[in-house]
Structure 1
């Protein structure tokens, strides 16, 4: 019996080279060197577009009213017509980084990162005024992005793993007071849509961790060499998506393999790799049981529907 889990929906799409795809409440957010676009769930209609060059991890608000933009030497909030609503100019990121920006519709807060001399900063702006800042490590410029947890906290994930990483979480309703962030050192945040839990990878990307909430003391975890026969210690995870109340994870070194796990990471089974999804392709989960895959070098994007999953049996993890 086949252990497939995805069915292709529609034709392969072509986005600009070096594009990434992420879930958005209205469908999909596509970031490219030319700016950001929001598509509906089936990639049939563009709902929002903002064009600019050299963006970092820029985002579009849930309500599709603002684009939070981070450029090499400034952070901007732009309206639907492309006009700059608010701007902060700074000394500029190193050549390899452009920081991060995010508009939180629920609290009408603009959050962005800024480089500093001894440490970088995470600034939060409301009504055009800086109301709070969090001092950060020196990891902010490299591949940082912002997300929102199920309990309403803003999270900033910094670093890509090579030089260390950390996740900072703050409650945006407490602005104007002292902010004591919850910090997960040496972890990388994964935006797993469809799960209220907090899903991260270790610094080395070979350990998957799941917390019920941001500030949960305990968590469940799995090392990549524990989930399937033939995986060596230290093999990295490449992506993780939600499939109902299960997780699907891709791991491997020279050959990428796909595995299904229970929510508690206690049992695993290997799945067939979807036809047309080559090594190096990233899969992200989105609305209504849909997933999108993207190939960063070419800009190829494909939409998938999660199909029936094979049954997991209780028992020890395969070794």
Structure 2
């Protein structure tokens, strides 16, 4: 059965994409709700005098995706402790609000908020309010599906606003082990010879444990004797970036995943000379290994070509 869910989580540009990719989500519309002005414009809402809040309204099939699942997605996109807006976007129009459409949604939302408060994830009080849904006014067409229409600007805004770093670190805190978190988010290094993949010889690919982006292949992995997974190259040079690291009294080149901006390891010029002389020395804790025979099941069939060369 098709139902509506309405959430405010700061800039509505950034609240469409997280829901768009899920099965059962039929439509995600950017708009304004909660205020007193009829048919408000973007310019009017920006003045913080209409009472309206930038929001998204989701049409979903509750036989495929539940309201609880939508709430989980919602909580993962916002800072629910911020009373004055979201990240660099300040003001009433950017506050976080759950607008419920019936008593069942109200009960589920209250329980979800209570569970979050008791989880210990946040030290501060949860500021997100839960109120009845009001008239929802669809925003101008230029604001609909903004992440698709203006990808480069959207990506810059999503990162520049501070949302990207917060969401990534918050997700990592909830889903990674302490070691994985310390390595990927705080640039730590795991112990040599006491990590998961340093001697893994199985065929497959290695992906970013946070984003799922494909980074390295077993075809480029070699035994360097250093105690960490070593690769002669990345699958695609566009998936990793290097920057100088002056830690521990050394000048090294740190390797980070481009999209996730997660710490992976370091790159050195002491690799096999016949293969280019490069050694990517990578922490197992920053990676997840997908065996060759499981790649299609995990949605990585586009990379099967690596093993057909």
Query: What TM-score results when the alignment is normalised by the length of structure 1?
Result: 0.28
Q: Rg bigger for which structure?
A: 2
Normalized per residue, the structure richer in helix is 2
Query: What TM-score results when the alignment is normalised by the length of structure 2?
Result: 0.28
